[in-house]
């Protein structure tokens, strides 16, 4: 599942890219998870009745 790191030069993204979907899952998690936070914080603001700009 996780393959050995065989690149000529060690690099952060090369380290993540170690098997099927490993880099993709990392990047999507990084981008999508905070969007849940944005969603729920905006929901709270709306429920409190704060005007939408």
Partner 1 sequence: MEERPTSVWSSTRFWRKSAGWVTGVSALLLIWLSVDTVAQISMGTDEDMQAKKPMRIFPSTVINHKVTYEYDAKRGHEVPVIGEKEAFFGRSDYSPEEADALLRHGKLTVQAKNCMSCHTLLGNGGYFAPDLTKAWLDPAWSESGPYMAMTGTATREEAMAKFMMHPSTYPTHARRMPELGITEDEAKAIVAFLKHMASIDTNGFPRNFAKMNGGVNAK
Name the site residues for partner 1 (rule: CB under 8 A).
Answer: 4, 6-9, 11-14, 27, 30-31, 34-35, 38-39, 42-43, 45-46, 49, 51-53
Query: What is the per-residue DSSP string for 11-51?
Result: -HHHHH-SSTTHHHHHHHHHHHHHHHHHHHHHHHHHHHT--
CB 21 to partner 1: min, Å: 17
Minimum CB–partner distance for residue 52 and partner 1 (Å): 5
Compute the distance between CA of residue 10 and CA of residue 13 in angstroms, rounded to an integer: 9
Least distance from C-beta 42 to partner 1, angstroms?
A: 4
């Amino acid at each position: 599942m996780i393959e050995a790191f065989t690149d000529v030069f060690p690099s952060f993204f090369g380290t993540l890219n170690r098997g099927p979907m490993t880099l993709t899952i990392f990047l999507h998690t990084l981008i999508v998870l905070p969007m849940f936070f944005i969603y729920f914080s905006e929901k709270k603001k709306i429920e409190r009745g704060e005007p939408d700009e």
